[in-house]
Structure 1
Amino acid sequence: MYAQNVYTVSGTIKDKLTNEPIIGVIVSAPSAQAGTMSDENGFYSISIPFDTITLIVEQLGYKKEVIIINLGQDMSLDFLLADDDEHLKEIVIEGNPHKEAINSTQMSKISLSAKDAKQVPVLFGEPDLLKILQLKPGIQSGGEGTSGLYVRGGGPDQNLFVVDNAIVYNPNHLFGLFSIFNTDAVKSIDLYKGDFPAQYGGRLSSVVDVKLNEGSTTKTSVRGGIGLIASRLTVDGPIKKDKASYIISARRTYFDIFTSQLNRMNKNNSSYDPIPAYYFYDLNGKVNYKFDEKNSFYLTGYFGRDVFNYDQNRLDFTFNWGNSVAVGGWNHIFSDKLKVTTSVIYSDYRYNIKNRFKDFSFKLSSMVRDYTIQSDFTYKHSEKHNIKFGIYTSNHRYIVGRLRAGTDDGKVQLGLGSVFSSQEGAIYASDEFDVGVRWKFNTGLRLSLFKNKANYFGGIEPRVAFRYLINEKMSWKGSFARMYQYIHLISNSGASLPTDIWYPSNSTVRPQRSDQVATGLSIIIGDKFYLTDEVYYKWMKRQIDFKDGAMIYSNPNLDQEFVFGKGWAYGNEIYLEKRKGKTTGWVGYTLSWTWKQFPYINNGEKFFARYDRRHDLSIVIVHRLTERLNISGTWVYGTGNAVSLPNGRFIMQDLEGTNIKVIPVYGKRNGFRMPPYHRMDLGLIYKFKPKKEGTESDLTLSIYNIYNRKNAYFIYFDEIQNEFGVTTKFQAKQVSLFPIIPSLTYNFKF
């Protein structure tokens, strides 16, 4: 019988062993047809119109909790979930159960954990969550071996990377071969390629939200890995048992150690060309303190640098770049229905180039720095309404291409560069609510504002999504989202390089805008397979490119180098996943088109974007051979990138018939296709028998490009001459980066 009032049960759900919050745990009351999911802090809240109820708490990898409770008032109820040995024998592909995915309005979202990265074979044996994301439909890589993301026709600058609420401007190490996210420090990563929640803004194509581990409040543990090119170490534990915890995670490569030894061994060899020294490192840290049941505080820090140095024959060249991040956050629970997270954030990305040759030196640098305050509220009005709202304000400071050059005696001195500052802010609100049994909606609105000197910009960004429950194993979903982007990545390359420059909107460079619609089906097949099929269409306004021959660096009139146009993309993404049994994995396929059109490029005709890819296929399989031995494999195929190549040449010479020059003639922009890309990787993980409880170790063998496919990285033309030194033809040749590469990594935890 229904009670007089509706009661609310709320609390936190944590791991019994580490005492860390667990994200995405399903809490349901079947008899009341009510359910919810724990958030990034492990917090849940569910409203129940009964005096007595059976509450079920379940998550893959943990033992299910079933409890009968008698309600006479609102109740606070916490859970500590224990590992389920039966589920731990399986490979968990994603954390959220398929049933919740069917019931949720959220679509176009991918969730991963650190476990996923460690199961899939990777380049050089270094686990990388961004490269795992590239194996999902709708997401493409920027090139061979890189961790860059091109999402649904968007460029690399149109992805918002957020680490514990802090924006990261360059998420790459080693010119894009690795990401800055150390898997041992990461709890989870969510990528939204459409249907963006209202709290996110500032980029057009995707949001990558990274949550870092918090550290155990019960016991100290050490884990890490020793690989062929890098090692990593993570230590976490309690500061005050059940009250405060810490985690410190570090990683470094060995490139410079090997190259310096080789250079030292050959320093007396006049024919030896020294190898530049290169290395990268990163450091993550986090401290959590729980004051009481309603208040907790966390402090997150990240610092990472890439360093490239060449010093030979009076030429001293040094290039370093990286990110610095600090976040202080306060979580407060006002009541069982209302909670808030307030964050104070510092984020800094910069690069510096120093070059000295004989008595002349120059320095080139660029920077973007943010100071941000934001508050995010969650209000569970009732079981049918889940409301989120918040406010955000940020101050940006930019140094664009600052150049300082001169001679040691001071006779020649030069200084160029530009310094900008701008302010950005937003307020947002959203409500997820049920209409009857089958319909569920999520409506949101974000109002964004941007100021740069005397220029003011703003935009209303509506968000709406729906879910229609066809039956308990099938739902139909749809969404619309508008996004504005006020700062832009200025690059003259096809990939996100560390010398790229972030540039604010102004009277010439207007904010970019995208509108995206998507719809699709989500289906549970039996109890082992999950299938989604989504189609999307995206319009992109005020896209930015460069004039031919544009000068990017140390240019005080950079506004005059741009051209502006539009873009659009559409496609179909199919995803099939199996998460139970000895064999798990997924298949993802994307059929897509990406177009650009600029009045002063390609004679104003539309052309394919460089990263347009007609077909993109990924197959990932993980199989448990024995209790301790797992084998995994991936196979990827993609249509070659669109490129601009000369389709003819003409000869030009002076009046005397000398100084002959061969001039290439280009046709349509990106009118040629690179050869198709395909590759297979294999991995083998052997888990050693633990010497005592709580310890783990394994040996991971990865083989990248197992059949040694020579994929084209770029194409150039070689001049062919006859015996008289006369050019007779030009022959196209391709450059390939990575042949078959085996790697071995030892991972441990104690």
Structure 2
Amino acid sequence: MLLRLWVVVGICCLGLPAAAWAQVQHQLNGVVRVSGSGEVLPGATVTVPALQAGATTDEKGAYTLQLPAGRHQVVVSFIGYDTQTRELNLTRDQRLNFQLVASGNQLGEVLVEGRGSLQEKLQTPQMSVERLTAREAKLLPALFGEVDLLKTLQLKPGVQNGGEGTSGLFVRGGSADQNLVLLDDALVYNPSHLFGLFSVFNPDAVQSVDLYKGGFPAQYGGRLSSVVDVKMRPGNAEKLTTSGGLGLISSRLTVEGPIVKNKGAFLVSGRRTYFDIFTRQINRLNNDDPEFDPIPDYYFYDLNAKANYKLGAKDELFLSGYLGNDVFGFNSQNGFNFDFSWGNKVGALRWNHVFNRKLFLNTTASVTSYKYSITNKLDQFSFSLASDIRDLTLRTDLDYLPNDRHTLKFGATATSHRFGTGRLQAGSEDGRLGFGSDISYRGEEAALYASDNFRPTEKWQLEYGLRLSGFRSGSQDQYAGLEPRAGVRYSLTPNLTLKSSYALMYQYVHLVTNSGASLPTDVWYPSRGSVRPQRSQQVATGASWLFGDGRFLLTNEVYYKWAQRQIDFRDGAQLFVNEDLDAEFLFGRGWAYGNELYLEKKQGRTTGWVGYTLSWTKRRFPPQRGTSGINNGETFFPNYDRRHNLTVVLLHNLNERVQLTGSFVYTSGQATTLPLGRFLFQDVFGEEPGAVPIYPQRNTYRLAPYHRFDLGVVWKLRPNRWIPESDLTFSAYNAYNRRNPYFVYFDQLRDPQTDQITGYRARQVSLFPVIPSVTYNFKF
């Protein structure tokens, strides 16, 4: 009795009631790394199951939790690593680091023991977001065995591809240029190799990819439809390692290691195709054959590099870089030469500073450029056409954690753009004939933002923010807009939540293209003159249900998006080297709405996901500028509109050394315009009749549905003294040899006796049959 009285009196003397004493909060923070390598783990999940509290580690592997004083069980998990559990008696602010060990079955990289990331995905107010790790993507079968992160994102609901084999993303009814693609916070303008067949992201250099389809956080802006946030791996801070792979069309090599052990690290990763090695040899062997048509040269390469260094307990520097290029060349024996190259250069320097346990700073300076160049030469006359865009960007972000209920983020960004919309040079080698033109513009873009993640009760969580953005191109063309963002999560039960979000977005730069898919020759153009910023709004709502003892997560989201000032071009528009490009634009509106159903499993011998999307995308361009608009001003479906989209991805551990993987895709046929018939006429000279096609409204036809099954086997080889880790990955792209439509053309039908045209027959062109491949991966 005396002891109890002393405790009560002591608490009262401290000015705290007994109930409040039990709720004293302490901060738990630390870093999650890989045991034996020192590599940090962004995206690892740190949870306290009893309190339904948790956090996901940032790009530095760091996490922060506010917990009541007392004993807690802390669970840490990450894909491909053994889950770690610790008992903790929290009596003060404490730093707790974790070293996760790779799963004993290396092929089980998509397994997460425990509730892990699915629980975190259930509880966050952020909706319409998907995270993909390079470890997951490497297990899935791929075209020519070339692992592609953007193609893997096409297997997620709400994401459409631009056609057979392409890596372009069309997210919730948006066009390919409405995706904000970031590599370590630096913008990437053209994320494609090989005319869109592969992305520029080498999976060996990438840590993770986050895809935001809606409910965009306030720190992102400048595009309407999605954010693709790619983070590079930081490198091994403990020991020097080498890894790579040999495939059918390319080889990869990555070297990483410590600069100073456990204080700094570096990573260098390169990849190159070798089409050109074989084509050049074939051309050389047939050089003396006048009937031989030379095979064009083609190859691409990319190089990633990253370094980090701890300046002290509170400061760390990160330096990231990317260089990639595609080169296509054709040299004929009659003196005609054609050279075409395009590529990206990206660099970013980031400084992380910790003011105290509640305030953190990230400041990034980045430079990015994209350029293409076409050169033709015939005998003594040459012609070249080029375009480029270059950005210099400075951004700063602050994270402030005042208490366990609020997480504040605020910051600013400023970008200087230079748009080279057309550079033309032509002339003769002797200099007697020559002319040229160079059209360029400048622009400045800036933004301020603030957001708050607020948790008023255990059931409610809100994330809301405001972004103020602006753009200036010259002294007369200035634009600004407020972009509110909001998201809310309500927990009906510990395993069932409801979510809703709203986002308004502005886009100040535009892609000048005359096709539905992005091409290397597309030109970026600023808002100026009559070309005002594009704008979109999106609302979404959905439910998430965690069941099967936390092994399955089922989500269902409904979205509606409407956009203004969408851009297309008048018929016969002159898009290149045009000093009055503004006059070629037409402006309209767009709508997109749909339902996305997604089932995900991350535990057990069999893992994967199933996604289904039912959606509609529409555009309308009314009569304007002396034209009848597009489709006579009537609403039409763009060619990337798909009504149904079904994806099934399965990964199964057969045993400790063999894993089976497979993916199935089904989508409705691509919208297209085909002639209803042809009008025949006889010319005045009595020669063969001509035929003029008669077209209906735009995109009133659908090509045949697209479906494909890919099959893969990953076979882990036994270690030896030289190569401790290696595997063979076998895959079959389009395993049942479906002849999917790429495009349709028409053949003339003729009477065999009179040789006169009697009709026309539609013929389908397919791109890829079944394609088997094998890749050897190694690490030592």
TM-score after normalising by structure 1? 0.97
Q: Deviations over 1:325-368 (max 9, x none)?
A: 11111000111111011001010100011111111101100000
Q: Deviations over 1:221-269 (max 9, x none)?
A: 1110000110000000001111111000000001000111111122222
Select 1:540's aligned residue among 543, 552, 563.
Answer: 563
Separation in structure 2 between the aligned mates of residue 97 and residue 69 of structure 1, nearest angstrom: 24
Contact 1:63–1:83 under 8 Å retained in 2: no
Q: Which residue of structure 2 lines up, in the alignment, with residue 139 of structure 1? A: 159
Q: Aligned pair in 2 of structure 1 residues 84, 504: CA closer, same or farther (>3 Å)?
A: same
Select 1:156's aligned residue among 170, 176, 197.
Answer: 176
Q: Which residue of structure 1 lines up, in the alignment, with residue 774 of structure 2? A: 744
Superposed displacement of residue 386, structure 1: 0.7
Superposed displacement of residue 21, structure 1: 1.7
Q: Deviations over 1:569-623 (max 9, x none)?
A: 0011111112222111111111010001001011111001111100111111111
Q: Which residue of structure 2 lines up, in the alignment, with residue 26 of structure 1? A: 45
SS in 2 for 1:568: strand
Select 2:421's aligned residue among 387, 400, 421.
Answer: 400
Q: Deviations over 1:692-733 (max 9, x none)?
A: 699310001111111111111001111122232311101111
SS in 1 for 2:744: strand
Aligned length in residues: 749
Matching of residue 106 in structure 1 with residue 129 in structure 2: no
Q: Aligned pair in 2 of structure 1 residues 152, 106: CA closer, same or farther (>3 Å)?
A: same
Separation in structure 2 between the aligned mates of residue 727 and residue 694 of structure 1, nearest angstrom: 66
Separation in structure 2 between the aligned mates of residue 30 and residue 612 of structure 1, nearest angstrom: 42
Q: Deviations over 1:186-228 (max 9, x none)?
A: 0000000111111100111000000000111101111100001
Q: Which residue of structure 1 lines up, in the alignment, with residue 699 of structure 2? A: 670
Q: Which residue of structure 2 lines up, in the alignment, with residue 572 of structure 1? A: 595
Q: Which residue of structure 2 lines up, in the alignment, with residue 422 of structure 1? A: 443
Q: Aligned pair in 2 of structure 1 residues 147, 31: CA closer, same or farther (>3 Å)?
A: closer
Contact 1:93–1:112 under 8 Å retained in 2: no
Select 2:385's aligned residue among 364, 385, 390.
Answer: 364
Contact 2:574–2:584 under 8 Å retained in 1: yes
Q: Aligned pair in 2 of structure 1 residues 231, 606: CA closer, same or farther (>3 Å)?
A: same
Deviates more, 1:683-692 or 1:632-641: 683-692
Select 2:224's aligned residue among 175, 185, 204.
Answer: 204
Alignment of 1:699-714 (within 5 A): 699-714=728-743
Q: Which residue of structure 2 lines up, in the alignment, with residue 481 of structure 1? A: 503
Q: Deviations over 1:476-535 (max 9, x none)?
A: 111001111000111111211100000000121111011001111111121321111111
Q: Which residue of structure 2 lines up, in the alignment, with residue 223 of structure 1? A: 243
Separation in structure 1 between the aligned mates of residue 266 and residue 405 of structure 2, nearest angstrom: 37
Q: Which residue of structure 1 lines up, in the alignment, with residue 533 of structure 2? A: 511
Q: Which residue of structure 1 lines up, in the alignment, with residue 101 of structure 2? A: 82
Deviates more, 1:669-678 or 1:648-657: 648-657
Mind listing any 5+ residue stretches in structure 2 that lack a counterpart?
1-18, 623-628
Q: Which residue of structure 2 lines up, in the alignment, with residue 581 of structure 1? A: 604
AA matched with 2:763: K
Select 1:44's aligned residue among 46, 63, 66.
Answer: 63
Superposed displacement of residue 78, structure 1: 2.7
Select 1:343's aligned residue among 358, 364, 371.
Answer: 364
Separation in structure 2 between the aligned mates of residue 376 and residue 503 of structure 1, nearest angstrom: 28
Select 2:494's aligned residue among 465, 472, 479.
Answer: 472
Contact 1:24–1:96 under 8 Å retained in 2: no
Contact 2:83–2:112 under 8 Å retained in 1: no
SS in 1 for 2:646: strand
Q: Which residue of structure 1 lines up, in the alignment, with residue 522 of structure 2? A: 500
Q: Aligned pair in 2 of structure 1 residues 195, 381: CA closer, same or farther (>3 Å)?
A: same
Separation in structure 2 between the aligned mates of residue 127 and residue 517 of structure 1, nearest angstrom: 33
Q: Aligned pair in 2 of structure 1 residues 198, 96: CA closer, same or farther (>3 Å)?
A: farther
Separation in structure 2 between the aligned mates of residue 103 and residue 247 of structure 1, nearest angstrom: 34
Q: Which residue of structure 2 lines up, in the alignment, with residue 10 of structure 1? A: 29
Separation in structure 1 between the aligned mates of residue 723 and residue 544 of structure 2, nearest angstrom: 38
Superposed displacement of residue 90, structure 1: 5.6
Q: Aligned pair in 2 of structure 1 residues 634, 30: CA closer, same or farther (>3 Å)?
A: closer
Superposed displacement of residue 114, structure 1: 0.9
Separation in structure 1 between the aligned mates of residue 48 and residue 306 of structure 2, nearest angstrom: 35
Q: Aligned pair in 2 of structure 1 residues 194, 694: CA closer, same or farther (>3 Å)?
A: farther
Q: Aligned pair in 2 of structure 1 residues 521, 694: CA closer, same or farther (>3 Å)?
A: farther
SS in 2 for 1:603: helix
SS in 2 for 1:559: helix
Q: Which residue of structure 1 lines up, in the alignment, with residue 632 of structure 2? A: 603
Counting aligned pairs with the same residue, the percent is 51
Separation in structure 1 between the aligned mates of residue 66 and residue 769 of structure 2, nearest angstrom: 57
Q: Aligned pair in 2 of structure 1 residues 685, 54: CA closer, same or farther (>3 Å)?
A: closer
Q: Which residue of structure 1 lines up, in the alignment, with residue 4 of structure 2? A: none
Separation in structure 2 between the aligned mates of residue 578 and residue 466 of structure 1, nearest angstrom: 24
Q: Which residue of structure 2 lines up, in the alignment, with residue 388 of structure 1? A: 409
AA matched with 2:271: R
Deviates more, 1:739-748 or 1:660-669: 660-669
Contact 1:511–1:542 under 8 Å retained in 2: yes
Q: Which residue of structure 1 lines up, in the alignment, with residue 625 of structure 2? A: none
Select 1:456's aligned residue among 471, 474, 478.
Answer: 478
Deviates more, 1:206-215 or 1:436-445: 436-445
SS in 2 for 1:713: strand
Superposed displacement of residue 58, structure 1: 3.7
Q: Which residue of structure 2 lines up, in the alignment, with residue 435 of structure 1? A: 456
SS in 2 for 1:215: coil
Separation in structure 2 between the aligned mates of residue 273 and residue 149 of structure 1, nearest angstrom: 36
Select 2:726's aligned residue among 697, 702, 709.
Answer: 697
Q: Deviations over 1:20-53 (max 9, x none)?
A: 2212233344566543222121121222332655
Superposed displacement of residue 455, structure 1: 0.6
Deviates more, 1:343-352 or 1:404-413: 404-413
Separation in structure 2 between the aligned mates of residue 102 and residue 117 of structure 1, nearest angstrom: 23
Superposed displacement of residue 415, structure 1: 1.2
Separation in structure 2 between the aligned mates of residue 570 and residue 213 of structure 1, nearest angstrom: 36
Matching of residue 184 in structure 1 with residue 204 in structure 2: yes
Q: Aligned pair in 2 of structure 1 residues 463, 494: CA closer, same or farther (>3 Å)?
A: same
Separation in structure 1 between the aligned mates of residue 728 and residue 439 of structure 2, nearest angstrom: 51
Q: Which residue of structure 2 lines up, in the alignment, with residue 62 of structure 1? A: 82
Separation in structure 1 between the aligned mates of residue 685 and residue 253 of structure 2, nearest angstrom: 69
Superposed displacement of residue 79, structure 1: 2.7
Q: RMSD of the TM alignment (CA)?
A: 1.8
TM-score after normalising by structure 2? 0.93
Contact 1:124–1:742 under 8 Å retained in 2: yes
Select 2:375's aligned residue among 323, 330, 354.
Answer: 354
Separation in structure 2 between the aligned mates of residue 484 and residue 317 of structure 1, nearest angstrom: 39
Separation in structure 2 between the aligned mates of residue 580 and residue 31 of structure 1, nearest angstrom: 20
Q: Aligned pair in 2 of structure 1 residues 279, 59: CA closer, same or farther (>3 Å)?
A: closer
Contact 1:285–1:301 under 8 Å retained in 2: yes
Q: Aligned pair in 2 of structure 1 residues 665, 602: CA closer, same or farther (>3 Å)?
A: same
Separation in structure 2 between the aligned mates of residue 533 and residue 285 of structure 1, nearest angstrom: 39
SS in 2 for 1:745: strand
Q: Deviations over 1:132-162 (max 9, x none)?
A: 1111111011111111111000100000100
SS in 1 for 2:453: strand
The structure with more radius of gyration: 2
AA matched with 2:291: S
Separation in structure 1 between the aligned mates of residue 248 and residue 154 of structure 2, nearest angstrom: 23
Alignment of 1:591-670 (within 5 A): 591-599=614-622, 600-658=629-687, 660-670=689-699
Separation in structure 2 between the aligned mates of residue 55 and residue 585 of structure 1, nearest angstrom: 26
